[in-house]
Structure 1
Amino acid sequence: MLQESDHVLVSHYIKGNEKAFEILLERHKTKVYQNIYFMVHDGELAEDIFQETFMKVIRTLKSGRYNEEGKFLPWVCRIAHNLVIDHFRREKKMRMVSGGDDYDIFATLDMEELTVEDQLVMDQIGSDVKKLMEQLPEEQKEVVQMRCFQDMSFKEIAENTGVSINTALGRMRYALINIRKMIKEHNIILSPQ
């Protein structure tokens, strides 16, 4: 069973074979954990999100809602990525400051943080880039997402999409060309003024 594809192992697990999931977990745990750690830079937090990721994977598989055949690792990495984003959103909402009468709030603020205006601009840029990506052909969009948002190497992208490394590189190249054309056509500015 160790030689089976992810797709076959997922199928076995959905049918009740717990060993199949153990193999999937063992096969992909390092990559998933590294992706999470790369985003959060905290071992304990990365471990928590890693566990939450696989709990969500199990729930989704057991409920019969998994339908991304042949793309198990990118799907798991997308779940992890979304959980990291959720964590930072929650953390941002829960930030509190307290202190006595002689407390100086400016002593605790990180002066490198973006201003509200800068953050709005950065959010808009991110939104614009996502909209541009949505207009790409499916193969190009998939490569950009794997490379930029899942930090996958072109070798990993090639393996996950079933194409050669040169094809994966070519798709990325054409995606960038297409995005540049769209930026020019729509007069989009992708940097804060």
Structure 2
Amino acid sequence: MGMSTGLEIPKMPSTLVIKPVLSDDDFEQLCATNADVALERTKEGEIVVNAPAGFRTDDANSEIIAQLRVWWKTHRRGRVCGSSAGFFLPDRSSKSPDAAYITDEQSGGLTNEELDHFLHLAPAFVVELRSKSDALSKALSKMELWLANGVQLGWLVDPYTRAVYIYEAGKDPRKETGEQIAGSGPVEGFVLDLNEVWSSYRV
């Protein structure tokens, strides 16, 4: 970072309350109008303002999406997306995973119009990549939220502890370390090479 000017830098609010609570269409329009910031919504309708990712986080996230898409090309069923995609979940919250996969069954009935907007569904598989500004407890809570809304499998990739926290429907969360992590359920056969992800954090 450059040298500080000595000015007192104001802290922007991390959440916003808009009354009345925005409809799904209005929230999506708010996101489109403020495309330079990443917005999410709680089930109570509170707007969550997320900080932009640092370079290393975005580099690592690009690697995760690339590996997921290479696996998808082996069968070309369902759809893969990155962190720009928004989802309206059953509890009325709106979240954006860092990477996600929706199954062929989920995507098969979607229209062209629906695919141009936030989807009203929970992806079968989500990946969240912890950034330096994210408290681990907050990141783990988001994984719980994904599962509560119908996600079958979720991975929280934590480059700062070199671990992956695995959330799977009907099972207790677990933590794994190692050079790779193997998918199950909706992403059976997908193997994430963690060494390639961790390489984004080396100087």
* Same fold flag (TM > 0.5): no
| Bigger proportion of residues as strand | 2
Rg larger for = 1
- Structure number with greater CO (CA < 8 Å, separation at least 6) is 1
TM-score (norm 2): 0.30
